[in-house]
Amino acid sequence: MKFKFLSGLSLICALFPAIAQQKIMPQSAYILPNAQKSVLTDIISVQGKFFMAAGERGHLLKSVNGQDWQQSATPLQSNLNSVFFLNEQLGWAVGHDASIVHSNDGGLTWSLQQFAPELDKPLFDVVFNDAQNGIAVGAYGMFYRTTDGGKQWQSEFHPELASIEDQALLAELKESDPEAYAIEASSVLPHFNRLFADGNVLFMVGEAGFYASSHDFGRTWQRENSFYNGSLFGITRTGQGNLFAIGLRGHAFRSTDLGVTWQKIDLPSPSTLNSVLAVEDKVFLFGNAGTLLMSSDDGVSFKAIKAPDGKSILNGVLVGPQLVLATETGIKSVQAVVAE
């Protein structure tokens, strides 16, 4: 008689198939007395009515004044990377485990729409065009779309977002070797780091200088010419209507011709920039090692604002004369005055 020796994982699957096939289920986030001091990765103003912050271990926090924060009940403990609200009631947040949660009561409570730890990939950003149509993007070209408010999210692959060389390879493999095409398609796209809806145009930036635009809410894309070979983490439009993008090692770029050409902006800090905020005539940059920069000339030049404790700043909002910041040590506030 011949015996077949099984690996440890194979043996578990053979002896305990129910356990081997058991799906990992999400666990509700713990409600903590000092959640506002945990790692926070995003903060937004919701139509000037309230503020929402997102962060580690499924934390979502709400404030009506930017000072007093209340943790919301959430159905998972995955780190959350971005939060978006369409209006005062409808919001979504995305994060690790390809997770997506939704609120229909202004961020007080949240329900689970997607949880896929088996993918081992994080989602980085989410945006909705209306109450039904939304897009979530993340690592390794992960791209999901919903047309029913998030009841169902469908994965999409857009070969036009690959480089010209990779597009040619994909086209060849699709005809000659479907199996190889599937393997290549799963790894050919860069990380998609940030979405920015600008009227009828949707911008997306990401890894290795990736920069693309869409005029039909992401159903088709135009991969634009790269103006930087490092990762980009944010893009917005300034008060004067110019585009501004930020990324690794203190790189910042400004475009005055709708993104056709870009000019590098000299900054007083080489730290990686995580996000950019444009409010009227001001542009604020938030980065690692407490980097906090402000421009009063539409992003042409910047000066440093002294940060609270030198910790990484992931994003910020302007609340009156104060900047309220999402940092690696929680919510911080600083007077929005340029240091002399």
Query: Using one digit for the tens of pLDDT, what is the confidence trace for 299-331?
Result: 999 999 988 788 999 999 999 999 999 999 999
Q: What is the mean pLDDT of residues 21-36?
A: 90
Mind listing the pLDDT tens digit for each residue in 87-141? Answer: 999 999 999 999 999 999 999 999 999 999 999 999 999 999 999 999 999 999 9
SS3 assignment for the chain: CCCCCCCHHHHHHHHCHHHHCCCCCCCCCCCCCCHHHCCEEEEEEECCCEEEEEEHHHCEEEECCCCCCEECECCCCCCEEEEEECCCCCEEEEECCCEEEEECCCCCECEEEECCHHHCCCEEEEEECCCCCEEEEEHHHCEEEECCCCCCCEECCCHHHCCHHHHHHHHHHHHHCHHHHHHHHCCCCCCEEEEEEECCEEEEEEHHHCEEEECCCCCCCEECCCCCCCCEEEEEECCCCCEEEEEHHHCEEEECCCCCCCEECCCCCCCCEEEEEEECCEEEEEEHHHCEEEECCCCCCCEECCCCCCCCEEEEEEECCEEEEEECCEEEEEECCCCC
Percent residues over pLDDT 70 in the chain: 92
Q: What is the mean pLDDT of residues 230-253?
A: 97
Reported pTM: 0.91
pLDDT mean over 186-194: 94
Domain ranges of the chain: 28-335
CATH of domain 28-335: 2.130.10.10
